[in-house]
Structure 1
Amino acid sequence: MNAEANLGIDRVRGSERIASLDVIRGLAILFILFMNIPVMGGYEFILFDERYPTWTNADWWTTFIRMTWMDGTQRGLLELLFGAGILIMARRAMEPDGPVAVADLHYRRNIWLALFGLANAFLLMWFGDILLVYGLAAVFLFPFRKLGPKALCGLASIFLVALTLNGLGDYRESQAKHDKLEQIQTAQASGKKLNEADKKALQDDRKQVLDWIQLPAQNAEAKKKIADADKARHSTFAAYWTAQFDGWKFVMGWFWIIEAEIVATMLIGMAFYRWGIIQGKAKQSTYWALLLVGYGAGMWLRGSVEWYKLAHIRGPHWEWILTDIARLLVTFGHVGLIQLILTSSLGRRLLSPFQAAGRMPLTVYLGTSFLMMWILFAPWGLNMFGVWGQAKLMAVAAVVIVAELIAANLWMRSYDNGPMEWVWKSLAYQRREPFRKARQQVPDAVPSPI
């Protein structure tokens, strides 16, 4: 046993790995493309409207299912796993006088991860990168590694309450605007003369309703946004890069909201690890509860909001307040479903291919960014930005996911790490890590709830 193992900072290897975590990570890192591709290759982030360039029944149902069942939950799974990973990396250093080398490794790993995130945003040009915010959140969380699961959940609840209060503030603002408009409309119906401010409020509201109902192809303002987006993404490198950078700046404008969500979910991931839930060690009844409550309540809340939007039912709707809670509930439902599938031999065989992708998530994630932003949608690549509607984008994502899954399994037959994991771990451990598998290496664990 080497000195680093004695200090509790050596890598998790061979049979020491928790295979079910790799499976969950593999599913999440691959399926996150279903959420990202409408922004990478379409107008969703530009118009905040999924109804362009096509809006068929398939597009409608694809959007409804994606936003209800999947949106934000793949990153939710990754956040739970990231929280669990903090405890795994410090697994031999939980005593009060634990070696400072553990903290050194933790901070090096996550500072490098944040730098990879900046490279993903500025070099690979994926402005929806999660690595930067994950790395920064993990730096903040390390001091809480010794807390018990109830304390971790209590701390997470502070962030969730803050997010809910933020949603409540938006809801109340929308409700006040709605009430004011009703008062103006009542006054107008009774024959009272309206002042200029009230007239403008009615005009703005009518325009907003019309913009909401009209398809983007019928709306002058939306058509201008589409033309500007096409010009930026079908011309020069500089225009393309600038458009992606503008997207990154917009996302970073929500930095504290994003970080609050991530920190809360990672803290719950740490608690789930202490309870044995994320590893599959809990009772089956626990996973059934996560599945039924998570999907039942979470998908009802999210489905209601998405239905209101797609059916053009005006708000405000109180379900908006619980957006972050609903996302977390559906994420819990995913955990329950995956762990229940892993309790059967057939389920383990079906999900075991995802283990390879879960062992090289950084490579898969950055590789997907390169494939999408430099090859498929770039003007110097296949130049396919804006070509497909929602249903076809999901089909493209499915093809890419299958190809990446096959590639990951072929790669992990011969190699100990994905190429980007090798770079990351070598930088974090400040040594050249093994690349190919050793001849007598202990085989990876089989996915199991035990």
Structure 2
Amino acid sequence: MSDTIVTTAAEPDGAPRIASLDVLRGIAILGILFMNIDGMGASGLAGARWPLWIGDWTKLDQIVWFTRQVFPDGTARCLLELLFGAGMVILTGRATDRAGGWRAMRAYYWRNIVLFGFGMVHVFGLLWYGDILHMYALCALVVFPLRNLPAKWLIALGLVFATASAVVSMPRIYNIDVENERLADVAEHRAAGQPLSRTERKAVRSNHGWHRSIRQDRFAVAREDRNRTTNFARWQMQEIRTYTDRIPTDWSRVLWWFGEATCTMLIGAGLFKLGILQGQRKRSVYVWMLVMGYLVGGAIRGIGAWQTIQFDDSVSFTWSLREFGRLAMTLGHVGLLSLLLSTVRGSALLKPFAAAGRTALTIYICQTLICLWLLYPPLALGLYVTQGWAALMATAVVIDAVLLIAANIWVRHFTIAPVEWLWRSIAALRPLPFGRVHAPPPRHAPDLAPA
């Protein structure tokens, strides 16, 4: 399959492009909107944990939500993290060849410090608390010193987070399961007029940790809905507070995101070194990735999603394996896309997504501008909490279609997208050429290139 991989022209700052990676990146950045739009058009907390709290929960909403949870949920983010790790290998390898290790490190760190600044503007300027840029920039600083490890070591280290998250989550899920059993016994004994045991009385007095968190979530969602539908000032305050409240009060969640992104980047670097992300392995490798990824990921995520929509406050032990499920499903996607790219029809079908990959950062910012500043805020159309899951996903399809068309038009005329140009110009400490695409020579013109 290696002959299907094309290296396209470099960016104005000299960064090389690989067509197959651009396709993967384009699909990932468009897919990220399907994960973000429920946090823009409704409460992010409700969308993450309590899907029933969004919309009317019609049969169509249920089908759409279940499909989203099993197949795309988290995989767009995972694919971006894999590609970030691959990009590190590409960029630092090129810089090291040209300038030496120390200068390559300095350039790469500065590039990501600038990206971190862009992420902060995204959070506090454009008010998207779900920004991933600043987290990826920080993770890249940690991953960089490990870039020269062998591919298998990178992948092994990357699997540490999935393993650790499963080990940490299992006792908590077990405790929730025990709590639910005790509270069920309490309800049964009270209904029968029987006295409660000492353990049951203790469970009642403890105010039930799992059930208390559900009540707290309901209060938080109601407060968020009020603030985001009142006026601009309260909407702005809510968006900023949603981000800032996590830092001092929920370190476990922050560390979770940091560990997830860091380890997935390591896996991405390892897969790139093995030639897997570029489509350079045998077809059988990608068939195996497709089949096993969808079987393992589909089983873990399907059972977990089914348990979530029982809405009986029970839990599933598959939740502790969610990172393994996310990785497996993403590798299944990579296998499928790589197989398509190895065929003529598949390549033609996926070719438009390369333009989205080349303009990924601009598309990401445009998604925020369209959703958070036009469709859903009280200062504009005010569609917040007016759409169910099916309508939210349909809106994401329309927005992505428009952005995909715009990206393909843009790359016909320019070699770099606006936000990418600004980021790389700051990183290069000089304004880069905007790079107008020159018209190709007429077909009858002689080929003057030397043999």
Name the counterpart of 1:3: none
Which SS does the other structure have where 1:234 is aligned? helix
The answer on whether the counterparts of 1:46 and 1:225 sit within 8 Å (CA) in structure 2 is: no
Q: Tell me, in whole angstroms, the C-alpha distance in 2 between the residues paired with 1:395 and 1:99.
A: 47
Change (3 A) 1:316 1:380: closer
The residue number in structure 2 matching 1:23 is 23
User: How far apart in 1 are the matches of 2:241 and 2:175?
Assistant: 28
Deviations 1:12-34 (A, max 9, x none): 45xx5210100000001011111
Q: Which residue of 1 aligns with 2:448?
A: none
The whole-number CA distance in structure 2 between the counterparts of 1:314 and 1:46 is 14
Q: Distance in 1 between matches of 2:307 and 2:120?
A: 36
Aligned AA (2:412): R
| Residue of structure 2 in register with 1:141 after alignment | 143
**Whole-Å separation in 1 of the counterparts to 2:78 and 2:32:** 10
* 2:87 alignment partner in structure 1: 85
How far 1:236 moved relative to its partner?
2.3
CA contact (8 A) 1:26 1:356 kept: yes
- Identity percentage of aligned residues: 35
CA contact (8 A) 1:416 1:434 kept: no
Letter in 1 for 2:34: F
Unaligned runs of 5+ in 1: 1-8, 213-218, 443-450
Tell me the alpha carbon deviations over residues 186-244 of structure 1, each in whole angstroms, 9 at most, x when there is no partner: 87799752268735746967x959x98xxxxxx9995x666533431223222001111
Aligned ranges 1:254-273 → 2 under 5 Å: 254-273=253-272
The SS at the match of 1:263 is: helix
Counterpart Cα distance in 1 of 2:177 and 2:382: 43
How far apart, CA to CA, are the structure 2 residues paired with 1:114 and 1:362? Answer: 13
Q: Which residue of 1 aligns with 2:228?
A: 233
Deviation at 1:259, TM superposition (A): 0.6
For 1:232 and 1:316, how far apart are their aligned partners in 2? 31
**Match of 1:92, SS?**
helix
Partner of 1:53: 55
Q: How far 1:378 sits from its partner (Å)? A: 1.4
Alignment of 1:20-419 (within 5 A): 20-46=20-46, 48-51=49-52, 52-92=54-94, 98-178=100-180, 180-181=182-183, 193-194=195-196, 198-199=200-201, 201=203, 208=211, 222=218, 228-252=223-247, 253=250, 254-312=253-311, 315-419=314-418
- 1:5 is aligned to none
Counterpart of 2:280 in 1: which secondary structure?
coil
RMSD: 3.1
Per the TM alignment, residue 432 of structure 1 is displaced from its structure 2 partner at its CA by 1.3
Distance 2:365 2:129 in 1: 12
CA contact (8 A) 2:25 2:356 kept: yes
Over 3 Å counting, the alpha-carbon distance change for 1:267 and 1:178 in structure 2 is same
Distance (whole Å) between structure 2 residues aligned to residue 437 and residue 179 of structure 1:
66
The CA distance in 2 between the partners of 1:249 and 1:97, in whole Å, is 39
Describe the SS at the equivalent of 1:278. Answer: coil
Query: Relative to structure 1, is the Cα distance of residues 148 and 11 closer, same or farther in structure 2, using a 3 angstrom cutoff?
Result: farther
CA contact (8 A) 1:128 1:251 kept: no
| 1:19-55 deviation digits (Å, cap 9, x = unpaired) | 0100000001011111111111013524742223211
Instruction: Give the conservation status (yes or no) of the 8 Å contact 2:413–2:436.
Output: yes
SS of the residue corresponding to residue 77 of structure 2 reads: helix
Aligned counterparts of 1:103 and 1:119: Cα–Cα separation in 2: 25
Give, in whole Å, the separation in 2 of the partners of 1:97 and 1:354. Answer: 33
1:347/1:386 CA distance change after superposition, 3 Å: same
Q: Which residues of structure 2 form unaligned runs of 5+?
A: 1-10, 442-451
How many Å separate the matches in 2 of 1:346 and 1:94?
Answer: 38
The 2-side partners of 1:293 and 1:91 are apart by 32
- Given residue 389 of structure 2, which amino acid in structure 1 is its aligned partner? Q
- The 1:220–1:136 alpha-carbon spacing in structure 2 relative to 1, beyond 3 Å, is closer
Question: How far apart in 1 are the matches of 2:141 and 2:176?
Answer: 36
1:99/1:201 CA distance change after superposition, 3 Å: closer
In structure 2, what is the Cα distance between the partners aligned to 1:197 and 1:295? Answer: 43
Which whole-Å CA distance do the structure 2 matches of 1:221 and 1:158 have between them?
30
Letter in 2 for 1:22: D
Partner amino acid, structure 1, of 2:431: R
Q: Which SS does the other structure have where 1:382 is aligned? A: coil
Which one-letter code corresponds to 1:248 in the other structure? Y
Shift of 1:153: 1.4
Distance 2:292 2:164 in 1: 23
| Separation in 2, partners of 1:334, 1:132 | 26
CA distance, structure 1, for counterparts of residue 377 and residue 270 of structure 2: 42
* Cα distance, 1:11–1:440 mapped onto 2, change above 3 Å: farther
1:370 Cα deviation after fit: 1.4
Whole-Å separation in 2 of the counterparts to 1:324 and 1:66? 16
Q: Deviation per CA, 1:352-377, whole angstroms, max 9, x where unpaired?
A: 11111101111110111111111111
Q: Which amino acid aligns with 2:287?
A: W
Output the amino acid matched with 1:153: I
Local SS of the residue matching 1:140: helix
TM-score normalised by structure 1 residue count: 0.86
For 2:308 and 2:292, the matched residues in 1 are separated by 24
Aligned partners of 2:360 and 2:241: how far apart in 1? Answer: 27
Spell out, residue by residue over 1:229-269, the C-alpha distance to the aligned partner (whole angstroms, 9 max, x if none): 34312232220011112221355431111010111110000
User: Which amino acid in the other structure matches residue 53 of structure 1?
Assistant: G
Instruction: Report the CA distance shift for 1:183/1:111 in structure 2 as closer, same or farther (over 3 A).
Output: same
